[in-house]
């Protein structure tokens, strides 16, 4: 028989809670203590029990339990600033308190942390599929000597192309990639200079003449066009080699081809080879009597393909923490970007008819010819760009313009604040991961030089936290089990 109050000892801190309060929450762990009839049932719910003092012992976080006690007494449940939101979620799960009981602001913060955790686990799984061994039998050093040497070469290749912090080869490989991207960007800019474009137009005009005149015109193109072509060929050759090395070292080829950065590589590399094929077949396979129409179509295709070379700049995302942060922020803030677009569309649909009506009725100069034509003015005004190509002249039109500018500033400020905080948080996370990757080769060298013999009890202790809560082990945790073998 229990007293009127229950003495709860959590982490050495004692709480006296009336049983009448706990009866209001029968599904919680403390509420279930009331229905226990013997010591065995009590010990299933707590870590220890003192029948003489009627005291229940729990080896849990006392700071988190203070919030839960406040919820039981006052009905207010909030997150702790000094505690991780995911750790607090585990405490709620242990004590049997529903997450929906949290205040709406704390619940939103918890949902955001859960989404970030799922995103991180997804990225870790993709990285494990690309880099980690598939099983213990495929780990380096297991199997025949030939397989061991092959696995060692693949491991070295993987470190060189995927991890610039793995050593000198990785740093050299990353620096070369950045240098070739810079050369490609400069070459693309130089190729659009007016004098080079005039030479290209002269060559295109020479195609309409005889073969003899055509050859002489190509010779007049000067050496600069040829030098630019050689630079582009060398850069594309390096990018093709880099893509091939990344494709060889990966474990899952299909996952590799679905990665956004690898898709960008394909989109940036293929236009060069397609341009060579189209350029070589444009003259030999030209239909007789097609004239300038055929040449204009071929020239348009070549110009579009050459413009796709700008995607080479996106390759810098492999080596730039800022670009990686930008991409991660875009993925995490899709809802905020959609909200920003919604605000912009609603305001545009509101102010465009107003300014058209004001200017069509009272404006002296009819610059706003239609409501769809006023959409451009509304967007430019709300974003505070103000090109000045369309300007309201009447007093009512200027009032509408002022309202649209103020509305644009206010409406776009709301989602941008959330996007900024997400960017800052993503940058800190990626910075921490980069620091861990920088320290990882030092630990790897230490493990390679120091043999580790793990006994069976120790291995169980080490692996127990990995499967905490009875969950499934991830691929990285399974690969760790390959090296935690108990001694015979």
Q: Which residues contact 57 (CB under 8 A, 6 or more apart)?
A: 9, 46, 47, 48, 49, 50
Q: Are 204 and 299 contained in the same domain?
A: yes
User: Is 456 domain-assigned?
Assistant: yes
Q: Are 40 and 65 contained in the same domain?
A: yes
Other beta carbons less than 10 A from residue 464's beta carbon: 9
| Total domain count, the chain | 5
Q: Are 343 and 397 contained in the same domain?
A: yes
CA 60 to mean position of chain CA atoms: 35
Q: Are 420 and 347 contained in the same domain?
A: yes
From 317, 348, 365, the end of a domain falls on: 317
Looking up residue 18, the CATH number of its domain turns out to be 3.30.710.10
User: Is 329 domain-assigned?
Assistant: no
Q: Which domain holds residue 137?
A: 133-160
Q: Are 80 and 202 contained in the same domain?
A: no
* pTM (2 d.p.): 0.55
Q: Are 244 and 204 contained in the same domain?
A: yes
- Compute the residue count for the chain: 488
Q: Are 176 and 265 contained in the same domain?
A: yes
Q: Are 308 and 201 contained in the same domain?
A: yes
Specify burial of residue 159 (Cβ count, 10 A radius: 0-12, 13-18, 19+). Answer: buried
Looking up residue 213, the CATH number of its domain turns out to be 1.20.120.350
Q: Are 431 and 359 contained in the same domain?
A: yes
Supply the pLDDT for residue 145: 66
From 317, 342, 368, the end of a domain falls on: 317
Supply the pLDDT for residue 441: 55
From 317, 342, 374, the end of a domain falls on: 317
User: Is 236 domain-assigned?
Assistant: yes
Rounded to an integer, what distance in angstroms lies between the CA atom of residue 177 and that of residue 175?
A: 5
Q: Are 364 and 431 contained in the same domain?
A: yes
User: Is 324 domain-assigned?
Assistant: no
User: Is 441 domain-assigned?
Assistant: no
Supply the pLDDT for residue 157: 84
Supply the pLDDT for residue 475: 46
User: Is 442 domain-assigned?
Assistant: no
Supply the pLDDT for residue 416: 87
Ordered per-residue pLDDT tens for the chain, 488 residues? 456 788 889 988 888 888 888 878 888 888 888 778 788 888 888 888 888 887 889 988 888 888 888 888 888 888 888 888 888 889 889 988 888 888 888 888 888 888 888 877 877 776 666 555 444 444 444 455 666 777 778 888 888 888 777 788 888 888 998 898 888 888 888 877 887 777 666 655 555 454 444 444 444 456 777 788 888 889 889 989 999 998 888 877 888 888 888 888 888 888 888 878 877 776 555 555 444 555 566 666 667 777 777 777 777 777 788 888 888 888 888 888 998 999 999 999 999 999 998 888 876 667 888 898 899 999 999 988 888 888 888 888 899 999 999 999 998 888 888 899 889 988 888 888 777 766 655 555 544 444 444 444 433 333 444 444 444 444 444 444 444 444 43
Q: Are 461 and 396 contained in the same domain?
A: no
Supply the pLDDT for residue 350: 93
Supply the pLDDT for residue 268: 83
Q: Are 294 and 370 contained in the same domain?
A: no
User: Is 328 domain-assigned?
Assistant: no
User: Is 445 domain-assigned?
Assistant: no
């Amino acid at each position: 028989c229990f007293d009127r109050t229950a003495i709860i000892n959590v982490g050495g801190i004692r709480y006296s809670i009336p049983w009448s309060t706990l009866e209001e929450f029968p599904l919680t762990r403390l509420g279930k203590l009331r229905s226990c009839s013997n010591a065995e049932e009590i010990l299933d719910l707590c870590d220890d029990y003192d029948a003489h003092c009627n005291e229940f012992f729990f080896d849990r976080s006392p700071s988190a339990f203070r919030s839960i006690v406040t919820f039981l007494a006052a009905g207010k449940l909030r997150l702790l600033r000094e505690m991780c939101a995911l750790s607090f979620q585990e405490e709620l799960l242990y004590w049997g308190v529903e997450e929906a009981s949290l205040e709406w602001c704390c619940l939103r913060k918890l949902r955001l942390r859960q989404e970030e955790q799922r995103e991180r686990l997804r990225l870790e799984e993709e990285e494990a599929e690309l880099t980690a061994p598939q099983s213990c039998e495929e780990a380096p050093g297991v199997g025949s000597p030939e397989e061991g040497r092959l696995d060692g070469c693949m491991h070295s290749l993987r470190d060189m192309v995927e991890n610039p912090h793995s050593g000198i080869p990785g740093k050299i490989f990353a620096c070369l990639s950045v240098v070739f991207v810079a050369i490609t960007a400069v070459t693309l800019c130089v190729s659009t200079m007016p004098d080079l474009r005039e030479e290209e137009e002269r060559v295109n005009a020479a195609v309409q003449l005889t073969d003899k005149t055509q050859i002489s015109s190509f010779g007049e193109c000067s050496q600069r066009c040829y030098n630019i072509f050689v630079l582009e060929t060398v850069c594309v050759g390096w990018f093709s080699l880099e893509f091939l090395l990344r494709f060889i070292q990966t474990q899952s080829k299909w996952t590799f081809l679905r990665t956004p950065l690898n898709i960008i590589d394909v989109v940036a590399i293929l236009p060069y080879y397609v341009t060579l094929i189209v350029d070589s077949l444009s003259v030999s396979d030209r239909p007789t009597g097609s004239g300038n129409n055929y040449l204009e179509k071929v020239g348009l295709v070549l110009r579009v393909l050459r413009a796709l070379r700008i995607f080479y700049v996106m390759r810098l995302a492999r080596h730039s923490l800022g670009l990686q942060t930008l991409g991660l922020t875009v993925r995490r803030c899709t809802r905020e970007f959609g909200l920003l677009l919604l605000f912009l569309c609603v305001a545009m649909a509101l102010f465009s008819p107003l300014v058209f009506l004001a200017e069509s009725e009272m404006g002296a100069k009819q610059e706003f010819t239609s409501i769809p034509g006023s959409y451009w003015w509304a967007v430019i005004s709300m974003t505070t760009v103000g090109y000045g190509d369309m300007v309201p002249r009447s007093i009512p039109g200027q009032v509408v313009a002022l309202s649209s500018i103020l509305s644009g500033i206010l409406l776009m400020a709301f989602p941008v604040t959330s996007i900024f905080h997400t960017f800052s948080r993503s940058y800190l996370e990626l910075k921490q991961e980069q620091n861990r990757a920088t320290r990882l080769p030092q630990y790897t060298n230490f493990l390679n030089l120091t043999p580790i013999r793990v006994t069976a009890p120790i291995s169980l202790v080490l692996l127990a936290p990995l499967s905490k809560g009875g969950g499934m082990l991830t691929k990285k945790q399974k690969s760790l089990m390959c090296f935690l073998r108990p001694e015979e």
